[in-house]
Amino acid sequence: MNIGIDIVECERVAGLINEKIFSAEELAYIHEKHDALPTVAGLFAAKEAYFKAKGTGIIKSELPKVVIGHHAGGQPFYVNDPKSALSISHTNTTAVAVCIIF
Sorted by where each starts, the structural domains of the chain and their CATH numbers stand as 2-101 (3.90.470.20)
Above 90 in pLDDT, residue 4? yes
Above 90 in pLDDT, residue 37? yes
In the chain, % of residues over pLDDT 90:
96
Round to whole Å and give the CA distance between 46 and 53.
10
Looking at residues 31-55, what average pLDDT do you find?
Answer: 96
Q: What pLDDT does 35 receive?
A: 87
Looking at residues 39-59, what average pLDDT do you find?
Answer: 96
Query: pLDDT by residue (tens digit) across 69-84?
Result: 999 999 999 999 999 9
Q: How many CA atoms lie within 13 A of 87 on its CB side?
A: 6
Instruction: Tell me the β-bridge partners of 88.
Output: 97
Backbone angles phi, psi at 72, to 5 degrees: -55, -35
Instruction: Tell me the β-bridge partners of 7.
Output: 96
